[in-house]
């Protein structure tokens, strides 16, 4: 229920939902639900070029929380959670949202 609680308190940030701020806003945990048109849809994490200051830490698929591995293939409908810094937000948004 932790993720549910965080989402209920979340604020929208562009195409992301901000779940939590860390280090006074210098980093944040964000969530995005992948659309069919997402550039990351149907790709393994190892295929994605993420900025050094961003990492995908979890995803929710069919109501199951998963810790992804490099072989995990992102699917449309996955709720992807990423830990990012402010300077990585635009690049991660472009990759996950389009």
Percentage of the chain modeled with pLDDT above 70:
85
Is the predicted pLDDT of residue 66 greater than 90, yes or no? Answer: yes
Say what the pTM is: 0.80
Is the predicted pLDDT of residue 25 greater than 70, yes or no? Answer: yes
With vertex at residue 27, the alpha carbon angle to CA 16 and CA 98, rounded to the nearest 5 degrees, is 30
Q: What domains appear along the chain, each with residue ranges and CATH number? A: 2-96 (3.30.70.1450)
* pLDDT tens digits, one per residue of 36-58: 899 999 999 999 999 999 999 99
The single-letter DSSP state of residue 48 is: -
Percentage of the chain modeled with pLDDT above 90:
55
Residues 34, 80: contact at Cβ < 8 Å?
Answer: yes
């Amino acid at each position: 229920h932790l993720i549910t609680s965080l989402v209920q308190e979340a604020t929208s940030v562009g195409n992301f939902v901000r779940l939590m701020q860390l280090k006074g806003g210098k980093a944040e945990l964000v969530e995005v639900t992948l659309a069919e048109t997402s550039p990351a849809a149907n790709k393994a994490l190892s295929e994605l070029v993420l900025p050094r200051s961003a990492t995908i830490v979890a995803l929710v698929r069919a109501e199951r929380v998963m810790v992804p591995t490099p072989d995990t293939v992102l699917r449309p409908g996955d709720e992807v959670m990423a830990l990012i810094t402010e300077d990585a937000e635009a690049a991660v948004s472009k990759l996950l949202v389009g």
